[in-house]
Amino acid sequence: MDTVVPPTASLRTQFENNIIRINENGISDSVATTIENRMKELNIPGISIAVFDNNEILWAKGYGLKNKENGETVNERILFQAASISKPVASVIAFKLMEQGKLKLDQDVNLQLRSWKVPENKFTIKEKVTASRIMSHTSGLGTSGFEGYNKKDSVPTLVQVLEGSSITNSEPVRVIQIPGESEYYSGGGMEVLQLLMEDVSEIKFPELAEALIFEPLKMENSTFQYPLPEKLNDYTSNGFDSNGKTIDGGYHLYPEKAAAGLWTTPSDLAKFMIALGKSYRGEKGGVLHQDSAQLMMKRVPGAGGTGIGIDGKGDAFRFRHTGGNAGFSCYAVSFANVGRGVVIMTNSDNGFPMNHEIVRAVSEVYDWPPMWMRE
């Protein structure tokens, strides 16, 4: 008797065998390869993917290794560092606090900050740093990103990250251009927002995320905590550099939580993307009020959305974010007008090109509009 292959499994198999190489000039190969072959070619140890449609996860699957030394493999429960995909999660928390009347999006952040203040300078004489500008990367703040810390290093506090200290490996967070003038991607700005959220709520950021996002959305394999909760500690993937070597200590620590500190799985991030899309459309089961989600996905002149990237028009209008920490490269995207999309998490510095190839393959197999940035 013939075995009947479920439709989702059949499409997944088609996807796994339909990876088209895209070279560094953006030119596509004429011959398809498998996901496993492409991982070997790009020296990517492990990948985890979740594909969703109609507000439901169609499938989630891991490929390759999470630990080369003992041969442990990736499955759908393995946690990866989400890197900058932490930013839209943090931004939704900020909007939640705004909805509760605790945080003012368009007010000078120094009026609500208590633990530390953004130093005034020649750029802030007329225009001020606001939460909205931070989330749209138009705040004028510098410090674009963070490299993380070895587990053996002393790890700075949030205020030390902002102010600068002898143990901090990033520049102090300062205003480097007139707020509101133009876009400048600032991870440092997200750390100002993190402190603002802690000051106005009197709750530490990891606990805020748990209460406002992870518990309501049943994201049981997600955390900003470090040390990691005991139930998740054995499920973390190591990160690998461009040569396939394990990051010293397995992975770096990121005290810059709102900018880069989220540990999660593609399935949990898919739940987040689904809930945010429901909010945008005004459907039941969202995470924000509809007007909040629509504000997030309204283009800021000269920039993207407020807290998340946006691309496309009409049926192809979508919200998305990339992520890159030491040893991890990730991508999450969803169409705004219907609950479908994909989340990809890799444990490699080489993951970005393959994220593009995977997104294109999913689009083609499922007959969806393009999902890559500006494609």
Per-residue pLDDT of the chain (375 residues; tens, 9 = 90+): 444 445 667 999 999 999 999 988 888 998 999 999 999 999 999 999 999 999 999 999 999 999 999 999 999 999 999 999 999 999 999 999 999 999 999 999 999 999 999 999 999 999 999 999 999 999 999 999 999 999 999 999 999 999 999 999 999 999 999 999 999 999 999 999 999 999 999 999 999 999 999 999 999 999 999 999 999 999 999 999 999 999 999 999 999 999 999 999 999 999 999 999 999 999 999 999 999 999 999 999 999 999 999 999 999 999 999 999 999 999 999 999 999 999 999 999 999 999 999 999 999 999 999 999 877
At 6 the pLDDT is 59
Judge whether 2 lies within some domain: no
Asked, for residue 194, whether it belongs to a domain, the answer is yes
Residue 204 lies in a domain: yes
pLDDT of residue 26: 84
* 154, 167 contact by CB (below 8 A): yes
- By C-alpha distance, which of 314, 370, 321, 364 is closest to 337? 314
The domain that contains 259 carries what CATH number?
3.40.710.10
Burial readout 349-359 (b: 16 or more C-beta within 10 A, e: otherwise) = bbbbbbbbbbb
Indicate the pTM of the whole model: 0.96
Note down the domain range covering 125.
7-365
Answer whether residue 375 is part of any domain.
no
In a domain, 273, yes or no: yes
Q: 237 lies in a domain?
A: yes
- pLDDT value of position 347: 98
Residue 327 maps to a domain:
yes
Number of domains in the chain: 1
Position 170 in a domain? yes
